[in-house]
Amino acid sequence: MTYFVSDIARIIHASGNILNDAPVSLLLTDSRSLSFPEETLFFALKTKQNDGHKYVTELYQKGVRTFVISQRLPIFEGLTEANLLVVKDTLAALQQLAASHRKHFQIPVIGITGSNGKTIVKEWLYQLLNEDKRIVRSPRSYNSQTGVPLSVWRLDEQAELALFEAGISQPEEMERLEKVIAPEIGILTNIGSAHQEGFQSIEQKCLEKLKLFTHSETIVYEEDDQIVQHCILNTIAGENFLSWSKKNQDAPLYISKIKKGEQSTFIQYNYLQIIDGDFEIPFTEDANIENAIHCLAVMLYFQISPDKIRERMMKLHSVAMRLEVKEGIQNCLIIDDTYNLDFNSLELALDFQMRRAKGSDLKRTLILSDLQQTGKSSHLLYLEVANLLKQKGIDKLIGIGKNIGDQASLFPMGMAFYETTEEFLQSTLINSFDKELILVKGAREFHFEKISDRLQLKVHETILEVNLDAIVHNFNFYRSKLKPTTKMVCMVKAFGYGAGSYELAKTLQEHHCDYLAVAVADEGAELRKAGIYMPLMVMNPEMSSFNVLFDNDLEPEVYSFKLLKALIRAAEMQGISNYPVHIKIDSGMHRLGFLPEEMDELTDLLTAQTALKVRSVFSHLAGSDSESHNDYTLRQIERFTQCAERIESAVGYKVLHHILNTAGIFRFPEHQKDMVRLGIGLYGVSSCGEEGLRNVSTLKTTILQIKDIKAGETIGYGRKWTLTRDSRIGTIPIGYADGLDRHLSNGVGEVVVNGKRAKIVGNICMDITMIDLTDTDAQEGDTAIIFGEELTVQEIADKLGTIPYEIITSIATRVKRIYYRE
């Protein structure tokens, strides 16, 4: 289905001029997720925290041409090519557009709401039904006033079933979502006490949620919940309830038996007094049993046989959670779950901790904040929490917050309570952990990341200092060689060439770099977690990391048919379409990439699918830094250009072209095309004689000890260095395990102390190195510089017969990075 700007203007009743009636395929509300500007329609939403009108100009500069706005600001006058569609309420317009789109589809649409379990039920239904039907569903938990319309917009001609979740926090929100989703089948997962704030009572909340089902034919819910049963019977006139019960044998779906085992649960049912069946799920938590029964009801509704139900239920797998395990101080392990906290997620995290502790002798400790958003009395809630902790065998509890502290007497295990996170951080208890598996679980506003930060293992006093201003200087140095419209990718792969990717990424994001490139998906995920929202490219996506890609909006490089096909399959499985990818051409480097003779097969594959969309086509030069390879470089550029044009004309939309790396930018700016990829030059290392770069990284350490040693004595392991004079020998805490190459031992390498050179003497050890300080006035505690302004990485590379890239990327992660601006 193709929408032109004029179609959309009509649907949302917008006024304003249409200058270019182009097709629109993508809706954008968060300017940070821009991927294909040419086909994007941006809705400038106003929320309590932000105003989308602020981003219109920036998006225009990036190529977006169509905007839905509610206010004409004076600065918009300058956007001479923009379609500005003016409406009264931009959010309402977005919902209207999605509702209109929804009307084109006569397929079953399932709307899922309730307090807990919406995402799990949606994902499980997908796991259970995707063999039979092509399913479109909300990505992750897009269930809000904006998330729902964006989800519904994904409906396309191939869809046979749709699963959308809807969440509300205030009265009246559901009526709007009902128009957008218009579900034929409704599922009410449960009515918990979460998000009570916006509602007067649980009944009111339940009634509001039920508004999603105003026009539904069937509603799935648990009738044993009195409030739910009462609200449904009193408000909804339909008779097609597919309610289930563990007590009432006359319920449409009667659950006759639930038996929990060690790892799984057996469930027996009777449906409409006709079908008897049973199945097992590989879960034992009550919440998951409830989720599975909702799914069972839907499967029965779709007339899936008890045998198939049994087979598929057994294969259910859990929906990914974000729990991280990190090495902590004093032989502890830290499980970091500092993002959200409710009873369910606490139970899941405790299970994770229990599994992780199995077979180790670690004691189990929980650091827990007040639980938020609950309608229960504090006493009841914490009684339940205390029982849960007892059941899960927690050895020690540290409670933080006023509410949990007030209920301290409920918790029998070893414990301590603090009113605030700061108070705990200043206590002596924080230094007393020993061989513990510590689950750090807190509601967001308690900022428990400060606690997990403090508990994580830190390292010794060798540091890599990174000058962020020098990074900006070098970035601008290369930018000045390019046309203003040429985009820049900054390569922060390999942990920012050793300099640490996060701070760099943040700095480059501030300075309007267009893209960052990391090596593997996990590096990208780390950046997202740290708040980097700009587009990220992943150079070596692994087959196992596709979900990490999708979950973090990471754009993979695709270099082979195997990878391309697997990626298409994975995206289709997730209900994703138009996922941006970057196609790599092997124009002569002969590393990764499609060969020119593979273009037919490649374009056939690309045009036969909609899961992926080509954002860019690129190639990499083998000898851009050397004049002797100029002919070859030009041949590579020519081959690449042909391939890129083939691909662009086959897919039929604009694709970015790029081939230059650092040396290429400097030596072949006439071939900058749409974008360039800056690597080593950003880090201040000149690759082909460019002058004017600034040093970025300084590796330095402190002298631990200085001793006078007599001539004739030997230094270090293997006695490879004999003193020819009485000497002052210094010891510094850096060794080959930190990335100091052992070939620099015995007089090959040097360090700088107080402006003077000092030779490395004896063999470099794992963590320690000896230096000859006889000709210096150095004192213990003075700084020794391994490389930096005065002793360049290039010099070390030359001594070792390697390239600067290897030196800077070899600095171990245990070396602390410190960032500064001047």
| Shortest distance (Å) from residue 679 CB to ligand PLP | 2
* CB contact set of 761 (below 8 Å; sequence gap of 6+): 715, 716, 721, 723, 729, 746, 747, 770, 771, 772
Tell me whether residue 717 is one of the annotated catalytic residues: yes
- Contact flags string 438-477 toward ligand PLP, x per CB under 6 A: ----------------------------------------
The minimum distance between CB 732 and ligand PLP, in angstroms, equals: 30
Options 216-224, 270-278, 678-686, 706-714: segment touching ligand PLP (CB under 6 A): 678-686
The answer to whether residue 679 forms part of the interface with ligand PLP (CB under 6 A) is yes
> Is position 487 an interface residue for ligand PLP (rule: CB under 6 A)?
no
- Beta carbon nearer to ligand PLP, 666 or 736: 666
Nearer Cβ to ligand PLP (623/733): 623
Interface with ligand PLP by CB under 6 A: which range of 210-218, 289-297, 574-582, 676-684? 676-684
Q: How far is the CB of 598 from ligand PLP (least distance, A)?
A: 18
**Nearest approach, Cβ of residue 126 and ligand PLP (Å):** 35
Burial class (CB in 10 A: 0-12, 13-18, 19+), 806: middle
- 147: which residues sit within 8 A by CB, 6+ positions away? 138, 141
Q: How far apart are CB 620 and ligand PLP at their closest, in Å?
A: 4
Residues with Cβ within 8 Å of 360's Cβ and at least 6 positions away in sequence, in order, are: 437
Residue 805 CB, nearest distance to ligand PLP (Å)? 7
Q: Which of 259, 562, 653, 717 is catalytic?
A: 717
User: How many residues does this entry show for the chain?
Assistant: 822
Going by the DSSP 8-state scheme, the letter that residue 594 receives in this structure is B
Burial readout 723-744 (b: 16 or more C-beta within 10 A, e: otherwise): beeebbbbbbbbbbebbbbeeb
**Exposure string (b/e) for 472-493, b if CB count within 10 Å is 16 or more?**
bbbbebbbeebeeebbbbbbbb
Measured from the CB atom, the residue of 525 and 680 that comes closer to ligand PLP is 680
Select the residue interacting with ligand PLP from 574, 662, 697, 745 (CB under 6 A).
662
**Which among 493, 613, 673, 700 is annotated as catalytic?**
493
For 542, the 3-state DSSP assignment is coil
Pairing of strands 3-4, 23-24: antiparallel
Binding mask 521-550 for ligand PLP (x = CB under 6 A): ------------------x-----------
661 binds ligand PLP (CB under 6 A): yes
State the amino acid at position 47 in one-letter form.
T
> d(Cα 759, Cα 775) in Å, to the nearest integer?
10
Binding mask 349-388 for ligand PLP (x = CB under 6 A): ----------------------------------------
Characterise 684 by phi-psi region: left (phi > 0), alpha (psi -120 to 50), beta (else).
left
Residue nearest to ligand PLP (CB): 679
Q: How many residues bind ligand PLP (CB under 6 A)?
A: 10
CA distances from 455 to 231, 367, 425, 458, 525 (A): 48, 12, 10, 9, 22
Backbone angles phi, psi at 409, to 5 degrees: -65, -15
Contacts of 320 (CB under 8 A, 6+ apart): 547, 551
Taking CB under 6 A as the binding criterion, the range among 198-206, 679-687, 714-722, 728-736 that sits at the site for ligand PLP is 679-687
For the CB of residue 515, give the shortest distance to ligand PLP in the complex, in Å.
11
Q: Mask: binding to ligand PLP, 589-628, rule CB under 6 A, as x and -?
A: -------------------------------x--------
CA nearest neighbour of 84 among 61, 67, 63, 71: 67
What's the one-letter identity of residue 771? Answer: I
493 in catalytic set: yes
Q: In what order do the strands lie in the sheet with 414-418?
A: 324-327, 333-337, 436-441, 363-369, 396-400, 414-418
673, 677, 700, 817: which one binds ligand PLP (CB under 6 A): 677
Q: CB-wise, 400 or 663, nearer to ligand PLP?
A: 663
* Minimum CB–partner distance for residue 130 and ligand PLP (Å): 35
Beta pairing partners, 414: 396
Stretch that binds ligand PLP, among 238-246, 412-420, 529-537, 675-683 (CB under 6 A): 675-683
**Residues at the interface with ligand PLP (CB under 6 A):** 491, 539, 620, 661-662, 677-680, 687
Q: What residues are labeled active site?
A: 493, 717
